[in-house]
Chain A
Amino acid sequence: MPYDVSVSFSEDESLDKIEIRIIAPERNEQVEQLLSRLSDAHRYLELPTYGGGQIRLRKDSIIRIFSENRNNYVCTAEETVRTTASVSELERQLGAGGFLRISRFEIINLDKAIHFDFSIVGELKIKMEADQTVFASRRYIPVIRDYLKGGDAK
């Protein structure tokens, strides 16, 4: 039988991380599901879709997120998902890592970059996995260099 769930928050300034603790009368299937979802949550991106549903995509499978003709898309090697979430909303969900905002309309996953080149018009041409090519301003070259050195793309 599923138990009712109550959520509470307590502030503890001595902590240096977020700690989620589940307190239950027993470790049943409901608890296992909650544990699984919470421990995996930071690895997934929740995408609201036009049908009113939601799609979960592993963040490390995402190649790029872009906006085109007022539609927003999340692109992996297998699929391109159209979502109602804006590029900025998705950027907030992504958090730290290899994701880099290269324009108002596009975020790329630097871990999926295969080759860099400098185009004749003077933009950084980035060949991504799944045969995708994106162009970024020269201003992002230092940011990419820092990330490849082992830093953060933000």
Chain B
Amino acid sequence: MRTKKKFWRRLLIGAFAGAILCNLIALLIVSLSGGSSFYSQNLARRLGSPAAAVILQTLLSMLIGMTGMGGMSLYDETDLPLAAATAIHFGVIEAVDIPVALLLGWLEPKLSDIGVMTAMLFVSFVMIWLIMFFIGKQQAKKLNEMSQKK
């Protein structure tokens, strides 16, 4: 029960954080690159209005945040080995983020761009796994010390 509550809380936090952060990043990129709008003009044309493009961008940003934060439950709320939890989290984020990025015009539909984004995500997850692996090693070492003192 506690696990489910934590999961839903994470989804909620992820939705808010995703909506705010993704729009902020889009604004930042636009202001740095001298662009005219923080949403895709193509998307606005296809949807018929800029407001619709902003709403869709916000909703899909929430989805990105939800998969990122919700996926954290794989690490501490399941019995999955760390490698499996990291691989599943990577798979889910990859499956959501790439189509969302393509749909919102954040990513060109080119194999090279998709490859770069996948590689960046992959490296991030390898680093997450490495950090958690060394934390686990330290925890095991601490258990050995405590076991010898007992």
Asked if B144 and A115 make an inter-chain contact with CB atoms under 8 angstroms apart, the answer reads yes
Q: Within 8 Å of chain B (Cβ to Cβ): is A56?
A: no
Bits for A123-138, please: 1 = Cβ < 8 Å to B, else 0.
Answer: 1110000000000011
B147 at interface (Cβ–Cβ under 8 A)? Answer: yes
Query: Interface extent on B, as a size class?
Result: 20 to 34
Which stretch of B28-36, B63-71, B79-87 is in the interface? B79-87
Tell me, yes or no, whether B125 is within 8 Å of chain A by CB.
Answer: no
**C-alpha gap A137/B132 in the complex (Å):** 13
Measured between C-beta atoms, what is the minimum distance from A152 to chain B in Å?
14
User: Quick one: which of B76, B79, B82, B143 contacts A116, CB cutoff 8 A?
Assistant: B143
Cβ < 8 Å to A, chain B residues 16-42: none
Q: Is A120 an interface residue (CB 8 A)?
A: yes
B contact face: mostly helix, strand, loop, or mixed: helix
Q: Are B81 and A121 in contact (CB under 8 A)?
A: yes
**B81 close to A118 (CB less than 8 A):** no
The reply to whether B85 and A117 form a contact with Cβ atoms under 8 Å apart is no
A148 touching B143 in the complex, CB below 8 Å, given contacts A122-B132, A124-B136, A138-B136: yes
Write out the residue numbers on chain A whose beta carbons fall within 8 Å of the beta carbon of B49: none
Q: Is the interface of A mostly helix, strand, loop or mixed?
A: mixed
CA distance A115 to B148 in the complex (A): 9
* Residue of B84, B142, B147 with most chain A CB atoms under a 10 A cut-off: B147
Known: A103-B79, A116-B147, A148-B150. A122 touches B140 (CB 8 A): no
Which of A32-40, A75-83, A139-147 forms contacts with chain B?
Answer: A139-147
Contact partner, A118, options B79, B136, B147, Cβ 8 Å: B136
- Interface pair A122/B133, CB less than 8 Å apart: yes
A115 to B111, CA, bound (A): 48
Cβ–Cβ contact B82 & A148, under 8 A:
no
Q: Tell me which residues from 89 to 146 in chain B have a Cβ below 8 Å from any Cβ of chain A.
A: 129, 132-133, 136-137, 139-144, 146
Nearest 9 pairs of A and B residues by beta carbon:
A122-B82, A118-B136, A148-B146, A137-B79, A116-B143, A121-B81, A116-B140, A121-B83, A118-B140
Residues of B within 8 A of A (CB): 75-86, 129, 132-133, 136-137, 139-144, 146-147, 150
